[in-house]
Amino acid sequence: MQKLSPSRPLLDAAAKEGKAIAALNFYNAETLISHLKAANSLNASIILQTTEATISYLGVEMIRGMAQAAAAQCEQPVALHLDHGRSYDIAAKCIDNGYTSVMIDGSKLSFSDNCELTRQVAELAHASGVSVEGELGHVGQNSETPAEDKTQWFTRAEDAQRFVAETNVDALAVAVGTAHGFYRGEVSIDFERLRQIRDAIPSTPLVLHGGSGVSAELLRECIQCGVRKINFGTELKDAFTRAVKSSLCSSDDIDLRRTFQPAISAVEEMSRSKIMICSGNTVERQTSGS
Ligand SMILES: [Zn+2]
């Protein structure tokens, strides 16, 4: 029986094994159950994460209760992580309410303001044994960022070195070509830059946002370049929504447990495939046994 773990030990263990941890967003009991089943079927550690929007939807107390119950049923350590916390207050609220890992996203601030905010959150978090992820450079949205402008937001290795030294973060989200949401065309990742960042901060696990829609091959290369946490949200939401639509359109059944069952299975399958990529498993897709 596991208690929720800080994310840093999971990322350090992944680094030793040359792997990454899948960070899976959940939105409700159904998606949480999907991730739990996927992790247990592969005997893997995962990071369960919620955005501020999910906190507004479920509340931190309910999220904590659900995640603690999930961790208790997991074979391997699990962390509960705040994804894209935008303020000191939301990070503090999560730290005080059972999250074991928080991201403070000051990527839209100036370098010095981002440093200061992240340093303050890291100080608070570390006093409670909570891990902290910062973001340097800016990972945008596929829906809003014109491809030709993206590189101006990319993380620079020398900045990463200063940022980590000044903030004491446990993990750093970097902008190297991925983005949030559905990609319109091919994803282009600046691996040379990623290697430079890794070499500048070799003891700091790197985080890749916007993992949905990136091929297994590219994700594996990212892992070889020091990425230890890969975030997946868009494809999970998409799998869930498609399955629910299909359930509702094919039947007048009002039993929600039956309506959601195909969606739980669809997300479980998607989560399994992402966990397998992160753990370097060569078989990318397997039929779920449950
Ligand atoms: Zn993100």
Reduced to 3 states, what is the DSSP secondary structure of residue 228?
A: strand
Nearest to 44 by CA among 273, 286, 283: 273
Q: How far apart are CA 197 and CA 195, in angstroms?
A: 5
CA of 208 to the centre of ligand 1 (A): 8
CA of 177 to the centre of ligand 1 (A): 13
The percent of residues in the chain predicted with pLDDT above 70, rounded, is 95
Backbone angles phi, psi at 75, to 5 degrees: -75, -35
Confidence of residue 148 (pLDDT cuts 50, 70, 90): low
Q: Which pLDDT score is estimated for 290?
A: 40
DSSP 3: P
Reduced to 3 states, what is the DSSP secondary structure of residue 25?
A: strand
Q: Which of 83, 170, 252, 253 is catalytic?
A: 83
CA of 139 to the centre of ligand 1 (A): 7
The CATH number that domain 7-278 falls under is 3.20.20.70
CB 228 within 8 A of CB 14: yes
CB 158 within 8 A of CB 136: no
The predicted-structure confidence for 5-45, as pLDDT tens digits, reads as follows 999 999 999 999 999 999 999 999 999 999 999 999 999 99
CB 80 within 8 A of CB 3: no
Contacts of 51 (CB under 8 A, 6+ apart): 25, 82, 83, 84, 233
CB 71 within 8 A of CB 3: yes
Backbone angles phi, psi at 208, to 5 degrees: -110, 120
Q: Which pLDDT score is estimated for 284?
A: 46
Q: Give the start-to-end residue ranges of the domains of the chain.
A: 7-278
Give the pTM. Answer: 0.95
Q: How far apart are CA 7 and CA 228, in angstroms?
A: 11
Angle among Cα 48, 160, 168 to the nearest 5 degrees reads: 60
Kindly tell me if the per-residue pLDDT of 1 is higher than 80: no
Q: How far apart are CA 196 and CA 151, in angstroms?
A: 15
More confident call, 143 vs 219 = 219
Q: Is 83 a catalytic residue?
A: yes
The predicted-structure confidence for 253-282, as pLDDT tens digits, reads as follows 999 999 999 999 999 999 999 999 999 975
CA of 252 to the centre of ligand 1 (A): 37
Confidence of residue 56 (pLDDT cuts 50, 70, 90): very high
The predicted-structure confidence for 75-88, as pLDDT tens digits, reads as follows 999 999 999 999 99
Contacts of 60 (CB under 8 A, 6+ apart): 93, 94, 97, 98, 99
CA of 180 to the centre of ligand 1 (A): 6
